[in-house]
Amino acid sequence: MDQVITREATRQQPYNPKYDPLVSKGPGHNQAYAPTYWIGTAGRTPEDDGPVLQDMDVDVVVIGSGYTGLSCALHLAKEHGIKAHVLEANQVAWGCSVRNGGQAQISSGRLKRSQWIRRWGLDTAREMHAEVVEAFDLFRNLIKDHNIACDPQDGGHYYIAHRAWMMPSLEKETTVLNEQFGYRAKMVDKHTFQTEIANDREAHGAMWEPDGVGIHAAKLAFGLLDAARSLGAKVHTSSPVTNWRTENGVHYLETPGGTVKARKVCVATAAYVPRGLHKKTKDRLMPILSNSMVTRELTADELAECNINVKSPLTDTRTLRHYYRLLPDNRMQIGSRSSISGADADNPQHLQLLRDGLTRKFPALANIELDYSWWGWVDVSHDMMPRITQPDPAEQMFYAMGYGGNGVMYAAQAGKRMAELAAGKQCGRDLPIFKSELPHEGILTPFRRLGQWWLYHWYHYRDER
């Protein structure tokens, strides 16, 4: 029997480009990676511990092997002496962690600092700011301490006014950052931005935040994998959780190769969480598709015309934001929102909209050849902020998700915080994101896509006026 399971489990399945977390039963079983630039240039296939091949009895299981899950396993071992077993349905970091734009910003969730103040008050907002500052330090230190060769490129983050009417809003946010949080943000005028930062023809100026790092997304994930395994964690690929039952406080996680019995479970599946995984994760997120593309290497003339003098993250102020940067090999990467559903994800019109966005910013790159194009799901919570929490005090189950597209940096801290919870410790700060569950919209969640379609049209009209 074990030989049959081994043979089946190691037969890689084709990548399914139409996967949709709202309608699919799960993310699949041993699917190949999406055809991203990061996977195409990572340089090596990561070693893991292979699929679950028999029943197991362990202390802690982590579901999901992206940045959050790997950081959780790493910190469980490093700080709490717990050697967790990570269960991954497909390949290591198969979901968000190898489909993002590789942009680390000093944020978590979708809300700005001024919105934190309105929602929670100034004192709590300052504590939240201190949390993300600490998170950025952790992010940088993990890369340094574990010698993760993920091509980090520091230089801050530029939040670009894509229309002149966005400049006053950025100026107000800069004032809030400086006066209320002691953070050294500054405004950059249009002429300075276009001549010294990037000749983005849409830019009317920008807000610069000192913390912003561009990284190679897959190399970061693979480095975290190596670090976690070196500390004793086990990472089992091709091991989707097909059924989860809890009896007398003990969790039984069924996989194709065997049932894993665990005292504690940490969920780190983000936008790829199956609706039927657990009652406390069902309909807690609104998965949103994001498109990304990478051009061929730019010529000397194209580089001169685009005049991009930084390789750290750049984001514009559209609600349906464009995020872009010049990669270390002088290819251009740009991403934005995409299809509403997985069924329509490979419609060429979505890629064309992304091409059009690049052309508006850099006319010299109109019709440029592409080397890579892909899409992936983003875990947007219903209130635009993440949660790292134990949703039911009576059950040893925890989750960390809801970053809203800002997980590249904060996921490492979220994994550390979830490890603290699983180890029976309190999170370092008394924050709403640690003390409450992700909001639930129940049966309305699948129907939100009708509203999403209308909102996308409204956002486009408002953004482009």
Whether the Cβ atoms of residue 301 and residue 338 lie closer than 8 Å to each other: no
Tell me the per-residue pLDDT of 317-331, one tens digit each, with 9 for 90 and over. 999 899 999 999 999
Task: Examine the domain organization and report whether 294 and 203 are in the same domain.
Answer: yes
Distance (Å) of CA 129 to CA 108, 114, 135, 177: 10, 11, 10, 10
The C-alpha angle 225, 281, 103, rounded to 5 degrees, equals 45
Q: Which of the four pLDDT bands, split at 50, 70 and 90, describes residue 6?
A: very low
Q: Which of the four pLDDT bands, split at 50, 70 and 90, describes residue 157?
A: very high
Task: Examine the domain organization and report whether 376 and 354 are in the same domain.
Answer: yes
For residue 189, what pLDDT is reported? 98
Whether the Cβ atoms of residue 24 and residue 6 lie closer than 8 Å to each other: no
Token pair 């139409």 is at which residue? 18
Q: The pTM is what?
A: 0.96
For residue 453, what pLDDT is reported? 83
141 is a domain residue: no
Residue 439 pLDDT more than 50? yes
Tell me the per-residue pLDDT of 178-216, one tens digit each, with 9 for 90 and over. 999 999 999 999 999 999 999 999 999 999 999 999 999
Whether the Cβ atoms of residue 255 and residue 277 lie closer than 8 Å to each other: no
Distance (Å) of CA 253 to CA 74, 105, 240, 250: 21, 35, 9, 10
Lowest mean pLDDT among 29-38, 120-129, 388-397, 420-429: 420-429
Query: What tokens were used for 121?
Result: 């008050």
Task: Examine the domain organization and report whether 408 and 342 are in the same domain.
Answer: no
For residue 3, what pLDDT is reported? 32
Residue 1 pLDDT more than 60? no
CATH number at residue 232: 3.50.50.60
Amino acid letter, residue 164? A
Mean pLDDT score, 87-113 = 97
Token pair 């309305």 is at which residue? 444
Task: Examine the domain organization and report whether 318 and 178 are in the same domain.
Answer: yes
Residue 447 pLDDT more than 80? no
Tell me the per-residue pLDDT of 9-21, one tens digit each, with 9 for 90 and over. 468 999 999 999 9
47 is a domain residue: yes
Task: Examine the domain organization and report whether 33 and 96 are in the same domain.
Answer: yes
Tell me the per-residue pLDDT of 225-258, one tens digit each, with 9 for 90 and over. 999 999 999 999 999 999 999 999 999 999 999 9
Mean pLDDT score, 412-431 = 94
Task: Examine the domain organization and report whether 63 and 174 are in the same domain.
Answer: no
For residue 206, what pLDDT is reported? 98
Distance (Å) of CA 309 to CA 194, 197, 211, 304: 10, 5, 17, 10
Residue 2 pLDDT more than 50? no
Mean pLDDT score, 381-404 = 97
Whether the Cβ atoms of residue 72 and residue 62 lie closer than 8 Å to each other: yes
Report how many domains make up the chain: 2
Task: Examine the domain organization and report whether 250 and 359 are in the same domain.
Answer: no
Task: Examine the domain organization and report whether 320 and 396 are in the same domain.
Answer: no
Give every strand in the sheet of 153-154, ordered side by side: 103-105, 212-214, 153-154
458 is a domain residue: no
Burial (0-12, 13-18, 19+ Cβ within 10 Å), 39: buried
**Domain that includes residue 417, residue range:** 2-100+218-281+383-449
Mean pLDDT of the chain: 94
b/e per residue 380-390 (b: at least 16 CB within 10 A): bbbbebbbbbb
Mean pLDDT score, 47-61 = 98
Residue ending a domain, among 381, 408, 437, is 381
Whether the Cβ atoms of residue 293 and residue 355 lie closer than 8 Å to each other: yes
Q: Comparing C-alpha atoms, which of 299, 367, 292, 374 is closest to residue 333?
A: 292
Whether the Cβ atoms of residue 410 and residue 107 lie closer than 8 Å to each other: yes
Token pair 């801050």 is at which residue? 156
Task: Examine the domain organization and report whether 321 and 437 are in the same domain.
Answer: no
Q: Which of the four pLDDT bands, split at 50, 70 and 90, describes residue 140?
A: very high
Task: Examine the domain organization and report whether 228 and 356 are in the same domain.
Answer: no
For residue 460, what pLDDT is reported? 82
Q: Comparing C-alpha atoms, which of 323, 348, 326, 327 is closest to residue 337?
A: 323
For residue 444, what pLDDT is reported? 61
Mean pLDDT score, 45-58 = 96
Task: Examine the domain organization and report whether 9 and 92 are in the same domain.
Answer: yes
Task: Examine the domain organization and report whether 69 and 17 are in the same domain.
Answer: yes
For residue 4, what pLDDT is reported? 35
120 is a domain residue: no
Mean pLDDT score, 5-32 = 84
